[in-house]
Amino acid sequence: MCPAFLFMTDNFQKPFKTIDEQIEILKNRNLIIDNEDVAKKTLQSLSYYKIVNGYQNPFWAKTDYFLNGTSFFDVILFYKFDTLMRNDMLNCFLTLETKIKTIISYEYCKEYGALGYLDKNNYAIKANATKLDKFMETVEQIKADSIKDLSNDFQSEHAQPKYFKYIPVRHYIQKYQNVPLWVMMESLTLGNVSVFYELMPKKIRVNVAKSISELSQVQYNERDITTILSSMTILRNTCAHGNTIYNFKIKKNLTDNSFVKIIKNDYPNLNTNNLSLGFIILASILPNTEVKMMFELVLKLYNACVQNYPPRVIEKIKHAMGFDLCKLIKVLKNHMPQTMPY
């Protein structure tokens, strides 16, 4: 039963505000609004919460009061930069996700066969029983969902994504009565795959790490890959849900693998429990043309953005990010492995 206080509204301090009222709030907080019509249309389409609450902090002189000279355009420009960086990073992560899923399924099936993942005996002896049971339930749920008759609720927003996502699974069940791992991988989330990797026998985890090392020309051990997968899952999902990422933080740093050590030689005291981990993972495991182009674009967008800001704002952005973006990208470009053809 939910606690009663969750439904109490008497003391709620955030009442609805019209667009005009939102504009007045911003003006009273010392934000310059040169064109109110443009500002109103922006708030109508992007929402006050996403724009202002997400990106106002670097521009504050004090809480709820903007630095003198700060304009609505300044905040929107920062939002645009963060949005483009997030979308570009997500595209690169999707490419990397495919490569990692392919390597994991290949190494696992090489040892246990196409359907070995359905047998609990083919997992680590010390595998977490609760996690293993939940993973097996996820697999069975995907199989069950794939063969449901969705004709009655196909128009629902939840039915359509599953219908198209599970087409390969449905085909194999209908034709072969079961689903090989490399097909099931298409329907597993990156979070599912991260758990699957954690549950696999150590020998297979080591082989996966070796394959990724050969692919990227950077030496990883199985612990490195465990950390990369868990960190990448959190950041990838943050990007996919359209959340603010410039101030992204997680609890743990990346392990000091061989590539991270090289980067820290040129960037001492770098913490990787922030957005820097995304750039480092992409630079080390997926050093292809797409990633290099993303780095160049992000750098160009960032410089175009901050050239309009006073030094105090720039320093607050760096502090919120937890690293100097320009410095990190320069270091990464100097040490990225040889570019992959794709």
pLDDT digits (tens, 9 = 90+) for 87-133: 999 999 999 999 999 999 999 999 999 999 999 999 999 989 999 99
Contact 90, 96 (CB under 8 A): no
How many Å apart are CA 71 and CA 255, to the nearest integer? Answer: 41
* Residue 156 confidence (pLDDT): 55
Spell out a b/e string for 88-117, using b for 16 or more CB atoms within 10 Å of the CB, else e. Answer: bbbebbeebbebbbebbbebbbeebebebb
The residue-averaged pLDDT of 283-300 equals: 90
* Cα dist from 91 to 107, 294, 297, whole Å: 25, 9, 13
* Residue 286 confidence (pLDDT): 82
The residue-averaged pLDDT of 285-298 equals: 89
- Inform me whether the pLDDT recorded for 155 exceeds 60: no
* Cα dist from 239 to 120, 232, 312, whole Å: 33, 10, 27
Q: Given the structure tokens 């990787």, which residue do they identify?
A: 272
Q: Tell if the pTM clears 0.95, that is, is over it.
A: no
How many Å apart are CA 190 and CA 136, to the nearest integer? Answer: 15
Q: Given the structure tokens 């029983």, which residue do they identify?
A: 129
Share of the chain above pLDDT 70, in %: 91
pLDDT digits (tens, 9 = 90+) for 172-225: 998 999 999 999 999 999 999 999 999 999 999 999 999 999 988 899 999 999
The residue-averaged pLDDT of 264-288 equals: 94
Minimum mean pLDDT range among 4-18, 22-36, 94-108, 236-250 = 4-18
How many Å apart are CA 244 and CA 247, to the nearest integer? Answer: 7
How many Å apart are CA 188 and CA 246, to the nearest integer? Answer: 28
Listed in sequence order, the DSSP H helices in 68-166 are 72-112, 129-146, 159-165
* Residue 8 confidence (pLDDT): 55
